[in-house]
Structure 1
Amino acid sequence: MTLSKPYTVLLFDPNPHSARILQTVLHQSGVKSVIHATEESEAIDLMKLSQLDAVLCDCSGKSDAGLNILRFIRNPKGPCDPKLPVIMTASDASVTKVTQARDAGSTEFVAKPVSVATMTKILVSALEKQRPFVESEQYFGPDRRRRRVNVNKPRRKSDQTTAQG
């Protein structure tokens, strides 16, 4: 699995060691250009000035900076494209952290450390096989449902009576 074209990704990761590893993984996954930010304000400024295809955003530790960046992007009235793919990463990928990222509109979530094969799969999913977006008062982001489940029965009681005649 490979990316179909060269992409530019903003990487927000305050940890320089982790950021170097992720930059290498992104390049080996086929990303052409990686722009790195270590501060929340720097990432937001770069998003306003750069043509980005995606954002890879760390949400490790106790800081809310990664989630704040995600919420900034998903604001439909903000200066960024609210449908920009956002991949959240964390070295401490707890259920709570994954749920917070999902509920804030994350496109994908990947635990660190991440292999080149996994990153490539995540990038293809986020950039080239995008899910439809949901826009409501409570949520703006990709459809959180991953699979279509066929239950082979009517959805409502009224459908049952209509089907029976």
Structure 2
Amino acid sequence: MFRVGLISDTHGLLRPAAMDFLRGCARIVHAGDIGSMAILEALATLAPVTAVRGNNDQGPGLGDLPEAVRLPLGEMQLYVLHNRRELAIDPRTAGVHVVVSGHSHKPLVERREDVLYVNPGSAGRRRFKLPICVGELLIDGREVMPRVVELDG
């Protein structure tokens, strides 16, 4: 079994509580609106990082990130993008098991047609009254156990 950390919408703010939660992950996925390459560099001290560009990622290095990434993890296929509304594939027919997205700042874990959709919410600055969250996927072969955790603000 291995643990994949999920984070999104940091917008230049990497909270110590998020770093603490992600410590011990085998891989970290950032679903965009990173805000600064320093965020990815800090996360990379914990585990290898896969990141996609969000709609606000225009700064040095961030504009070069892909809009979407297909990420094989053992027997599982993840597809990572920032805005789920811009999903340009049919995950089920493409063999994708988990779609990870951000953008809405709203945490979500939902299964539809054998595909798991996970949005870890926003780990950056609070937007409206939405919670500050991060997430994880515990992967064991073809089994995925998702979890989104609210951080203390």
Coarse TM-score class (shorter-chain normalised): 0.3 to 0.5
More helix by share: 1
Larger Rg computed on CA atoms: 1
More strand by share: 2
Task: Report the TM-score when normalising by structure 2.
Answer: 0.39
